Amino acid sequence: MYYNFIFLIRIKIMITTRSPYRISFFGGGTDYEDWYSNHGGGFLSFAINYFTYITLRIKPKFQEKEYRVLWRLAEEVKNIEDIQHPIVRETLKEFGYHDKGLDISYIGDLPGGAGMGSSSAFTAALILAIKTHQKNFITPYELSYLSYEIEKNKLKETVGIQDQIATSYGGFNKVIIDKDGTSHVTPVNLSSNNLKNFLDRLVLVYTGTTRRATDAAEKSVKNISSKKDYFQSLFDMVDESHNLLLKNNLNDFGKLLHEAWLVKKKLSDDMSNKLINDLYDHGMKNGALGGKLLGAGGGGFVLFMSEEGMKEKLIGSLKKNTIVPVKVCFEGTQVVYEERERI
């Protein structure tokens, strides 16, 4: 008697990616298409040592064929269209990802909606995980624009391009955006000593509140043509701040941050509030040269640049708040774990 044995070989796959959050110093708002398509845009920012992690796992064939997405909710659904997480749902649809038996889990080092570019970090990390599973190489430039495409055109969010570029590339960069949307990324080349001195003057403070970024952004860029002088001023500060850094003129850099914050508050009545204004005023009275609320406004993190020798006083005066130490992350979105096992 003869028996025919059929062996079905399937690959168990697990991929973990991470994307850094970012701190934007100057130029925020000029990275929106309504502005840069007419005037060009740009920004100065760096990626930081806090991350969004995405783990994508293809379940073995004998397990339930369904989509499981773990974030604030624990979703288990039969079809992509039923996934509640908008970025996951639209990204899977965009890349034609119809294999069932898929787990996606998310961990973030910092709260979402806090002005640190968390949505773009999430999107970039998810796209890279999918591309890695498909064995498709992708450059930071391509990743940034695919992430932007998902957020702006698939989710219909009011977003610029700076967060996607910052998280995809990593590092400390000046970025110029042409009218056709082409971006040019120039690393800010500081000596290790000058970079250390710069970082030693920064104080990042969590306000304890968050907001939906696109809601705040919509109000800032609404009727953008009537705010031309404000946006042009913010754009001009990108080159000015870059030059100050190259000259190691940190005092004037800090003062320029203050000027930029005063301009940004004019973009929308919802840019700031009493909590943020009180915190900012307190910082300015206790050793800060300047600062800003990160992100589109309304809540999240406030960044201060202290006067030389005044950082400890500034931090000491903010004992009731959460201080978050930061370093530059010179690596952009990347794969940190990949396993492919035959089963």
The per-residue pLDDT for 122 is 98
* Residue 305 domain flag: yes
Percentage with pLDDT > 70 across the chain: 92
Question: How many folded domains does the chain comprise?
Answer: 1
Query: Does pLDDT of 298 surpass 80?
Result: no
Q: Cite the beta strand spans of the chain per DSSP E.
A: 11-26, 41-58, 67-70, 74-77, 102-108, 172-177, 183-187, 202-206, 288-293, 301-306, 322-323, 334-342
In this prediction, residue 324 has a pLDDT band, given cuts at 50, 70 and 90, of very high
The per-residue pLDDT for 168 is 98
* Residue 1 domain flag: no
Contact by Cβ (8 Å): 108, 118: yes
For 80, how many CA atoms within 13 A lie in the half-sphere containing its CB?
A: 15
**Greater model confidence, 316 or 12:** 316
* Residue 205 domain flag: yes
Length of the chain: 343
Contact by Cβ (8 Å): 183, 45: no
| Domain extent at residue 274 | 11-342
* Residue 2 domain flag: no
Place of tokens 């930071």: 140
Contact by Cβ (8 Å): 119, 154: no
For 191, how many CA atoms within 13 A lie in the half-sphere containing its CB?
A: 5
Query: Does pLDDT of 257 surpass 70?
Result: yes
- Print the SS3 string covering 238-297: HHHHHHHHHCCCHHHHHHHHHHHHHHHCCCCCCCCCHHHHHHHHHHHHCCEEEEEECCCC
Query: Does pLDDT of 7 surpass 50?
Result: no
Query: Does pLDDT of 17 surpass 80?
Result: yes
* Residue 3 domain flag: no
Q: Give the residue-averaged pLDDT of 69-84.
A: 92
Query: Does pLDDT of 82 surpass 90?
Result: yes
**Greater model confidence, 216 or 207:** 207
In this prediction, residue 222 has a pLDDT band, given cuts at 50, 70 and 90, of low
Amino acid identity at 81: E
* Residue 46 domain flag: yes
In this prediction, residue 11 has a pLDDT band, given cuts at 50, 70 and 90, of low
Residue range 144-191, pLDDT digits in tens: 999 999 999 999 999 999 999 999 999 999 999 999 999 999 999 999
* Residue 330 domain flag: yes
Residue range 263-278, pLDDT digits in tens: 999 988 888 899 999 9
Q: Give the residue-averaged pLDDT of 251-262.
A: 98
Query: Does pLDDT of 209 surpass 70?
Result: yes
The mean of the pLDDT values for the chain is 91
Residue range 35-71, pLDDT digits in tens: 999 999 999 999 999 999 999 998 767 667 789 999 9
- For the whole model, what pTM was predicted? 0.92
Q: What is the CATH number of the domain that holds 314?
A: 3.30.230.120
Residue range 92-144, pLDDT digits in tens: 999 887 767 889 999 999 998 889 999 999 999 999 999 999 899 999 999 99
* Residue 159 domain flag: yes
The per-residue pLDDT for 29 is 93
